[in-house]
Amino acid sequence: MTTLNLGMVGAGRIGQVHAANLAARVPGARLVAIADIAFEAAQKLAGQYNVSHAYDNPEAILDDPAIDAVIVASATDTHPAIIEGAAAAGKHIFCEKPIARSLAEIDGALTAVDKAGVKLQIGFNRRFDANFARVRRAIVDGEIGQPHLLHIISRDPGPPPLSYIRVSGGIFLDMTIHDFDMARFLLGSEVVEVYTSGAVLVDPAIGEAGDIDTALVLLTFASGALGVIDNSRRAVYGYDQRVEILGSGGAIQTENKYPNAAIISTGDHIRRDLPLHFFLERYADSFALELAQFVEAVVHDRPTPVTGEDGRIPVVMALAAAKSLHEKRPVRLDEIAPV
């Protein structure tokens, strides 16, 4: 196999990112079909990137023997059925996070993947960011000794629409889930317990929709290390994505990414431009790299870098965080059972 033929389900915002990257930044891949229940969106995206076929349902992609792999970029509630259908069709799968909102659905999808013997990669793109990859390498190489404290700052420039919040599963499944993945990825240790505090400080309508917009999550790792995730739906200055790890032999930290490196100094102030505004700008390179590594894993028959189990564990963490918030107590991950 010299070129991997891909079909994509979902022509929304993240589907558009993947289509653009496959067209220009992912060697050895060819996007040949796009499906979306909003057929006009599929047609428009296909036309923009010279994709041969556009459909109004995923079955056409799953039934096409010329398609080797499927990108699942549709709504979360559609993921399990598409994963199971793609696995049954013998197609490899790249799926956006989360796999599903319930562990029972996730386990069903992962069982189908294992039974079919196809490859599955989950779209935790932040692992492929150069800054965070460098932090992980510092831990692996022992540059700062044994990790003791982890601090992840993850704040959006503004909240998503209320229509999204009502169906997203809540802040822990639609936002913090990336940070849960980063915590275990960076430290290389599993989280065993979470303790959550949250509030509605950005928009009362978010609380009326049954969610929170501001959260702190304390993590206890199997290694004994402690961590904290600091989330807000609104940082007025832009997308705030920072990490610091303190170890027995030193510390490592990352700063935000900016559109330029210029700093203006005058008699009145020292200033610079605001950080890159949101995730599409901040993580542009990582979105391309995660797809490139998925293609390489399939073409060269290697393990995918982000497995189905990597996709499952952050959902367990998210469910534990929600339980902790509601019950106002620490919750161990082994308390969370499939339902």
* CA distances from residue 313 to 107, 132, 167, 305, 324 in whole angstroms, order as listed: 11, 19, 21, 15, 16
Residue 338 is predicted with a pLDDT of 80
pLDDT in tens, 290-320: 999 999 999 999 999 999 999 999 999 999 9
3-state secondary structure of 1: coil
Name every residue whose Cβ is closer than 8 Å to that of residue 32 and which is 6 or more positions away in sequence.
5, 6, 7, 51, 52, 53, 66, 67
Residue 339 is predicted with a pLDDT of 66
Residue 58 is predicted with a pLDDT of 96
Instruction: Kindly tell me if the per-residue pLDDT of 1 is higher than 60.
Output: no
Residue 337 is predicted with a pLDDT of 85
Average pLDDT score, the chain: 96
How do strand 263-265 and strand 69-72 relate by DSSP bridges?
unpaired
Between 220 and 277, where is the model more confident? 220
Residue in 247, 312, 291 with CA at minimum distance from that of residue 93? 291
Residue 2 is predicted with a pLDDT of 79
- One-letter identity of residue 238: G
- Rounded mean pLDDT of 97-111? 97
- Only one residue has tokens 């060819």, namely 30
Q: Are 313 and 46 in contact (CB under 8 A)?
A: no
pLDDT in tens, 180-198: 999 999 999 999 999 999 9
How do strand 263-265 and strand 270-272 relate by DSSP bridges?
antiparallel
pLDDT in tens, 28-42: 999 999 999 999 999
Instruction: Kindly tell me if the per-residue pLDDT of 335 is higher than 60.
Output: yes
What CA–CA distance (Å, rounded) separates 59 from 84? 12
Domains of the chain, start order = 4-118 (3.40.50.720), 127-282+314-335 (3.30.360.10)
